[in-house]
């Protein structure tokens, strides 16, 4: 089979990387509010998936926490907020006047 261009072999569905780059409905990347469930046996937090959902404000995250608590009776659901952010310039001095 001869392939004329690689684009013709590409799946019409977005890749996992492409999906992660886009915000999901009700999500705000960089919003800073996260909802986690605690494992009732170990007490460890779990998002239930690899990339936690990020909410734009406390109200939205509280609504999601209540929804999850209803869905998982007997489990503790908590809202976390980013309280400190650190960034280091990967190329210090470049672009400085």
Those residues whose C-beta lies under 8 Å from the C-beta of residue 1, and which sit 6 or more positions away, are none
**Rounded distance, CA 16 to CA 42, Å?**
30
Count the Cβ atoms, other than its own, within 10 Å of residue 66: 12
pLDDT at 86: 92
The single residue listed with the structure tokens 């072999």 is 9
**Rounded distance, CA 44 to CA 40, Å?**
8
pLDDT at 8: 59
pLDDT at 79: 94
**Rounded distance, CA 10 to CA 45, Å?**
37
| Contact between residue 36 and residue 78 where contact means Cβ atoms under 8 Å apart | yes
pLDDT at 91: 86
pLDDT at 22: 67
Chunk the chain into consecutive blocks of 10 residues (it has 97) and report each block's average pLDDT, rounded to whole numbers: 58 61 72 88 77 87 90 90 90 72
* Nearest of 92, 16, 78 to residue 47 by alpha carbon: 78
pLDDT at 3: 53
């Amino acid at each position: 089979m001869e392939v004329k261009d690689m684009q013709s072999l590409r799946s019409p569905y977005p890749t996992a990387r492409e999906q992660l780059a886009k915000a999901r409905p009700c999500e705000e990347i960089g919003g800073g509010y996260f909802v986690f469930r605690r494992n009732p046996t170990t007490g460890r937090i779990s998002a239930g998936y690899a990339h936690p959902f990020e909410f734009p404000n406390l109200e939205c995250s509280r609504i999601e926490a209540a929804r999850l608590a209803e869905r998982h009776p007997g489990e503790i659901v908590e809202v976390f907020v980013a309280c400190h952010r650190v960034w280091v310039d990967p190329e210090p001095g470049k672009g400085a006047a």
